[in-house]
Amino acid sequence: MIDKNILFEEIVLDNLENVKKANVIDRSIKIKLIPNKIKVIYGVRRGGKTYFLFQIIKKHFKDDFLYINFEDERLINTTTKELNELLKIALSIKNTKNLFFDEIQNIDSWDKFIRRLNDSGFNIFITGSSSKLLSKEISTSLRGRNIKTEILPLNFKEFLKFKNFDVKERYSTIEKAELLKYLNEFIKFGGFPEITLIDNEEIKKDILREYLDSIFYRDVVERHNIRNIKEIKVLRNILINLFANEISIKKIINLLKEFNTKISRECIYNYLDYFGDSYLIFLLNNFSYKTKTVSNSKLYIIDGMWNFSLNFSRNKGRILENLVFLELRKKGFVENENLFYIKGKNYEVDFLIFDKEKELIQVCYELNEINKEREIKAFEKAIKDLKLDNVNLKIITYDTEGFEKITVNDKEYLIKIIPFWKWSLI
């Protein structure tokens, strides 16, 4: 049996070497480096949290750091006592106050360990997959001690940076063609960093499938000790097929019946929470000034998972809408806090940004005279129903651009029609 101290020493040295060798492409994500706060970096599995840690290290700490990745299989089932011994050995190798712990939620009682180190004056960075890292653990143990940064897959501007494409104000015909080629790739596969750097489409899809399984089994099934895996997998597949659609518990129950699967209403609510915690799905509520129970929501899924929906190649409009939602999330808007959709009588508006500046957004892959009239009428009805005096109006398309003017309640509004690529690069 290998000596634990020797093993821990090897792990520490391996991790330091991994940081040193990493080829980091900087993300545009901002983080506040407040010394006495625990910096919590969270988000979907494989979304780029580890390399964001490396980016912080290389930019701000050079050689003055310790990094430990708790997804290392050699650290499985590490106890709190062993955790203390691991840190002791690590500090004997590199005496520093800057500690970077990757996926530390895999260790029992990690929060107490981190809190004690914070009290001892260490400058701590931790990552964790799923928003669970920010719910029970942080609300009970790290309240007031942490500052949070969410990491999602690449936005389109970062995606182009990974492709070494120079973003600028104007493009030649050849440059525009290359830009649209990259846009088509982004529409098909999304912005997971590893997938972005791979050219082969079959390999991209295989890796996406691996991500889906990893999120499903590790962040949903294992984390929540789910025994009936078959039934929740049926639900997962139904949800993926419903992306960019309105859902309700009743609708889900009826679809489950088609697959001879029965799940109680209470369990469906719980499973939806679990999928949301894992970042596999996002549920967007219909906006209302009144406080009432939300019965229906729009469902969106994380980057690229639409590849596993039925007939996804014919769903370009829904994929573009899903991408707009994700891009809004990557811009910092949060569903059901300052981001909603609107469903009124005989109309729907895809997105309402209800912030300092209010904005209504429609998504339309190909704009023609028929659907343009429908989208504009929806704007008019929403402005009247919600009494929105000052609101920006946008229709996001694949590659159509222009302006329209409407008058509502004797006030003139300008509708900006803008391609996704141009909107996302602003």
The full set of domain ranges for the chain reads: 4-151, 315-426
pTM value is 0.94
State residue 128's pLDDT score: 83
State residue 330's pLDDT score: 96
pLDDT < 50: residue spans in the chain: none
State residue 143's pLDDT score: 76
Q: How far apart are the first and last CA of the chain?
A: 57
Fold of the CATH domain 315-426: Trna Endonuclease; Chain: A, domain 1 (3.40.1350)
State residue 204's pLDDT score: 98
Helix axes 110-119, 80-93, angle to 10 degrees: 40
Separation CA 77–CA 93 (nearest Å): 23
State residue 177's pLDDT score: 97
- Strands 245-247 and 38-43 turn out to be unpaired
Q: Give the neighbor-by-neighbor strand order of the sheet with 245-247.
A: 245-247, 297-301, 281-285
- Strands 146-151 and 245-247 turn out to be unpaired
Separation CA 354–CA 244 (nearest Å): 20
State residue 5's pLDDT score: 87
Pick among 3.40.50.280, 3.40.190.100, 3.40.50.300, 3.10.129.10: CATH of 4-151: 3.40.50.300
State residue 292's pLDDT score: 56
State residue 124's pLDDT score: 97
State residue 135's pLDDT score: 54
State residue 94's pLDDT score: 96
For the chain, the C-alpha Rg in angstroms (whole number) is 23
Separation CA 347–CA 210 (nearest Å): 39
Separation CA 44–CA 47 (nearest Å): 5
State residue 132's pLDDT score: 56
